């Protein structure tokens, strides 16, 4: 019911080839009602900023604090202290090979095989098994030689789960490979 960012999936198309899928996509119409947006991370933390997830109180994902020793004393007694604000540009971890997954459910063995361009096959296996309520020893993730990732392939994505779910539901192998535009978004 709510889309939070450009590229957030709202529908799935299953087809026997890319051309049929593209044609089917043209038939989907989604009406979007504009919502208040905040595109600055610090402004998103201010009181009254639009909240992305209503079940949370604010837009803060997590806080990580680390302390050792008496930092206040160390700063007071330091010969020199430097205060600096560092901003980093947004970037895209752009691997030559985009992400992709092939899921094949073997109904007779009640096992799922996933070929994925992931950098974390063991973690992906655990998440897929847990999410789809399968015994972990019935899920096999194969990560062939991955053509780079730069961190973008060290996460679990909805497409991994969706391909696996659809393969089980349809009892047919399901292949998903993102194009470059999808990779950017």
Q: Is the pLDDT of residue 29 over 80?
A: yes
184 sits in which H/E element: helix 180-184
Residues 62, 64: Cα–Cα separation, whole Å: 7
Close Cβ partners of 155 (under 8 Å, ≥ 6 residues apart):
120
Q: What is the pLDDT of residue 184?
A: 84
User: Are the CB atoms for 91 and 75 separated by under 8 Å?
Assistant: no
100-106 β-sheet, strand order: 139-142, 111-116, 100-106, 174-177
Could you tell me the pLDDT band of residue 148, with boundaries at 50, 70 and 90? confident
């Amino acid at each position: 019911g709510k889309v939070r960012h450009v590229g957030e999936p709202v529908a799935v198309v299953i087809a026997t080839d890319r051309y049929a899928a593209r044609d089917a996509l043209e038939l989907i119409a989604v009406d979007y009602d504009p919502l208040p947006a905040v595109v600055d991370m610090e402004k998103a933390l201010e009181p009254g900023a639009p909240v992305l997830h209503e079940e949370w109180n604010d837009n803060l994902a997590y806080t990580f604090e680390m302390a050792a020793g008496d930092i206040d004393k160390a700063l007071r007694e330091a010969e020199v202290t430097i205060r600096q604000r560092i901003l980093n540009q947004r970037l895209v971890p752009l691997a030559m090979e985009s992400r992709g997954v092939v899921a094949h459910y073997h109904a007779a063995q009640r096992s799922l095989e996933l070929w994925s361009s992931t950098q974390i096959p063991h973690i992906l296996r655990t998440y897929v098994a847990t999410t789809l309520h399968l015994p972990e020893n019935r899920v096999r993730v194969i990560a062939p030689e991955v053509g780079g990732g730069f961190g973008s392939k060290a996460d679990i994505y909805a497409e991994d789960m969706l391909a696996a779910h659809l393969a089980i539901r349809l009892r047919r192998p399901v292949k998903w490979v993102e194009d470059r535009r999808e990779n950017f978004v």
